[in-house]
């Protein structure tokens, strides 16, 4: 199937980034959110990133203008009726996502593919609430979307080969590198990354080393560009906890048990960079 019209639902950092990249590579994109304020913030972020790229010589002014022309903004989910692909990028909550997919299944045309940017939730379960489970798939973009090349393409139990191929082709058209992943908790990226972050938190919890020293070991000893605790703060400690809980519940294995210190920080409201404090303190 040829994909031309795309809707991205959710104008937060991930959704706006996905919309921007799709528009840059020639797709007609509708960015949707339930709140006008969120749409305005998403639009402003896109325009700022594009302007910066022009200033730095990474993007021609003509390309900037064309990208902006390819974008439109709406709070009306009914506008999915003209789209070939809808990418959901809303809160990481199964009840909220399944509620949205039921609506998208109603509004989107029969041929349309419905994709989720979930980082950990089962695609098979999301697909099951629709009347088109063979056309439901995961597209897990990395943050920040305009910079990171990887997209995990997650096949649910009923995802068809045709759906997978359409999404793989589209991913390559937007100059991303697709990796095929089967539907298991955490997929590949978070199944590997989050236990490492959790173990780094345990080393702080048990008094093995300070956050600074843990990060230094991983940067200088393992050649990681960013230490795991800095990365956790960037991701959001609440998000890290949620994904660890998904892994723990999904596999029933104690090795995925969230560190008590992670739970304590989240309960204290120390969520990382977005709240001003996590394992490090940040200026607003």
Q: Which of 117, 120, 190, 275 is catalytic?
A: 190
How far is the C-alpha of 144 from the C-alpha of 51, rounded, in Å? 16
pLDDT of residue 129: 98
User: Whole-angstrom Cα distance, residue 109 to residue 80?
Assistant: 8
For residue 12 the two structure tokens come to 């937060």
Instruction: Tell me the sheet residues that pair with 178.
Output: 151
The 3-class SS string of 144-198 reads CCCCCCEEEEEECCCCCHHHHHHHHHHHHHCCCEEEEEECCCCCCHHHHHHHHHH
Domain ranges of the chain: 5-182, 189-274
Q: Residue 183 has what pLDDT?
A: 96
Say how many C-beta atoms besides its own lie within 10 A of residue 56's C-beta. 8
91 three-class SS = coil
Residues 6+ apart with CB under 8 A from 106: none
Could you say which of 3.30.365.10, 3.40.720.10, 3.10.350.10, 1.10.1040.10 is the CATH number of the domain covering 189-274?
1.10.1040.10
DSSP per-residue codes, 219-235? IIIH--SS-HHHHHHHH
Whole-angstrom distance, CA of residue 144 vs CA of residue 18: 9
pTM of the model: 0.92
Catalytic residue among 119, 120, 166, 275: 119
Q: What are the per-10-residue average pLDDT scores of the chain (284 residues)?
A: 95 97 98 96 97 95 97 98 98 95 98 96 97 98 95 98 98 98 96 98 98 98 98 95 95 97 98 96 86
Peptide bond connecting 254 to the previous residue in cis, omega within 30 degrees of 0: no
- The answer to whether 140 is a known catalytic residue is yes
pLDDT of residue 284: 65
* Residue 10 region by backbone torsions, left for phi larger than 0, else alpha for psi between -120 and 50, else beta: left
Q: Among 116, 117, 120, 140, which one carries the catalytic annotation?
A: 140
**CATH 3.40.50.720 assigned to 5-182:** yes
Among residues 265, 271, 203, 260, the alpha carbon closest in space to that of 236 is found at: 271
Annotation says 152 is catalytic: yes
Q: What is the full DSSP assignment across 50-83?
A: HHHHHHTTSS-HHHHHHHHHTEEEES-GGGGGG-
């Amino acid at each position: 199937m040829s994909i031309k019209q795309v809707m991205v639902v959710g104008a937060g950092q991930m959704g706006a980034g996905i919309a921007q990249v799709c528009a840059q590579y020639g797709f007609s994109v509708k960015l949707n959110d339930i709140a006008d304020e969120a749409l305005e913030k998403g639009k402003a972020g896109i325009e700022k990133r594009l302007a910066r790229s022009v200033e730095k010589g990474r993007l021609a002014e003509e390309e900037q203008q064309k990208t902006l022309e390819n974008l439109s903004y709406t709070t009306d989910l009914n506008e999915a009726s003209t789209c070939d692909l809808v990418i959901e990028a809303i809160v990481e909550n199964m009840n909220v996502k399944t509620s949205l997919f039921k609506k998208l299944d109603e509004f989107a045309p029969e041929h349309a593919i419905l994709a989720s940017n979930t980082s950990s939730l089962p695609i098979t379960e999301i697909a099951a609430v629709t009347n088109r489970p063979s056309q439901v798939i995961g597209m897990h973009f990395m943050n920040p979307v305009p910079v990171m090349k990887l997209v995990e393409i997650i096949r649910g139990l009923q995802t068809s080969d045709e759906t997978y191929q359409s999404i793989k082709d589209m991913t390559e058209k937007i100059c991303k590198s697709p990796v095929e992943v089967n539907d298991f908790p955490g997929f590949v990226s978070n199944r590997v990354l989050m236990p490492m972050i959790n173990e780094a938190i345990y080393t702080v919890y048990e008094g093995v080393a300070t956050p600074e020293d843990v990060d230094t070991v991983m940067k200088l000893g393992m050649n990681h560009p960013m230490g795991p605790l800095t990365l956790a703060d960037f991701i959001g400690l609440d998000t890290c906890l949620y994904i660890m809980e998904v892994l723990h519940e999904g596999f029933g294995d104690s090795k995925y048990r969230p560190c008590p210190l992670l739970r304590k920080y989240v309960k204290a409201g120390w969520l990382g960079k977005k709240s001003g404090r996590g394992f490090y303190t940040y200026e607003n």
